[in-house]
Structure 1
Amino acid sequence: MTDPRRAAPRVLVIANLCLLALYPVAWFAPLVRAGLLPLFGLDEISVITGLQSLWQTDIFLALMVTVFALVAPCLKTLGLALLHFGLLDRRLEGPLWHLGRLAMADIFLIALFITVTKGIGIGRVEVAWGLYLFSFCILASLWISWKTAQSAKNQTIA
């Protein structure tokens, strides 16, 4: 019979590698649908289309969203993969956790955008499936980090 402490990392490794495929899907999936979006001039906004529009209008915000939506989740997921395969020092686990927290800031920005747009009362805005997928990816990444840290503690104690 296998030791459950040894089986958990395999599940975490597979889940983390799945995120490498799910993140790009979430970036291109529609986050919101709207009848009128004066800010973007689009009917559907994905992370990528939103970034394309932001780079033309607000470079600072585009840079922030690029870091929060693309760079932070990718670096964290790749870092965790390297950690799981023993190619990264365990001391970098803490910074990887904080990198995942940066990615949560992007979900806050999207939620703020939806709230402001609905509050203005111009057009209609509805959440699309991509926002749920993107949120799931970020939360799954945080969970994988947390379970990885727990697993490492359990192996150190044993």
Structure 2
Amino acid sequence: MAVLKWINLTLLVLYPVAWAAPLMRAGLLPLFGLSEISVLTGLQALWETDILLALIVTLFALVAPYLKTVGLALVQFKLLSRRTLPALALMGKLAMADVFLIAIYITVVKGIGIGRIETAWGLYLFTACILASLLISVVESRRTPD
């Protein structure tokens, strides 16, 4: 199970990469080029238009998964009590909500047919980070303390 510690620490590097990576490419009509949208560019646009929604998305997309990963690393290296695992699991579920919202947005835009949208590699990386973190926390919660 020592390998899970290192995978978890790797997530501390991969999360910022996933936040800056393109989640999708979107364009209004097929004649115009596609612009890339990342978690960070999406948040930047939200801060200009809807501060409350920007705060919520920042919590789900950035704060919750990163704090959960740091907390889990602290538990794995015995610097934080295992009693915090339920709270860390809740933070992971909040982070997964962000991936579902992105998927719903993509489905809605494709269904309307007004614009064009393509998923990009950052969406897969972001989703993989969230799922890896959830899997690590499940395994860690089932592990008996040393």
Q: TM-score, normalised by structure 1?
A: 0.86
Percentage of matched positions with identical amino acids: 66
Query: How far apart, in 2, do the equivalents of 1:120 and 1:59 lie?
Result: 27
Query: How far apart, in 2, do the equivalents of 1:22 and 1:117 lie?
Result: 28
Query: Higher mean Cα deviation, 97-106 or 28-37?
Result: 28-37
Q: Conserved in 2, the CA contact under 8 Å of 1:36 and 1:43?
A: no
**Letter in structure 2 aligned against 1:140:** A
1:140-155 matches, cutoff 5 A: 140-152=132-144, 155=145
Task: Name which of 31, 36, 41 aligns with 1:44.
Answer: 36
- Identify the residue that residue 80 of structure 1 maps to in structure 2: 72
**How much has 1:81 moved relative to structure 2?**
0.7
Give the gaps of 5 or more residues in structure 2: none
Query: How far apart, in 2, do the equivalents of 1:61 and 1:110 lie?
Result: 14
Indicate whether 1:132 and 2:118 are aligned: no
Indicate whether 1:107 and 2:107 are aligned: no
Query: How far apart, in 1, do the equivalents of 2:43 and 2:138 lie?
Result: 30
**How much has 1:149 moved relative to structure 2?**
1.3
**How much has 1:120 moved relative to structure 2?**
2.0
Q: TM-score, normalised by structure 2?
A: 0.92
Query: How far apart, in 1, do the equivalents of 2:112 and 2:143 lie?
Result: 47
Query: How far apart, in 1, do the equivalents of 2:96 and 2:55 lie?
Result: 16
Name segments (4+ residues, structure 1) moved above 3 Å: none
Q: Secondary structure of the equivalent of 1:141?
A: helix
Task: Name which of 37, 61, 66 aligns with 2:53.
Answer: 61
Query: How far apart, in 2, do the equivalents of 1:149 and 1:92 lie?
Result: 10
Task: Name which of 75, 94, 100 aligns with 2:86.
Answer: 94
Q: Secondary structure of the equivalent of 2:143?
A: helix
Q: Secondary structure of the equivalent of 1:31?
A: strand
Indicate whether 1:16 and 2:16 are aligned: no
**How much has 1:36 moved relative to structure 2?**
2.3
Query: How far apart, in 2, do the equivalents of 1:123 and 1:31 lie?
Result: 16
Aligned pairs, number: 142
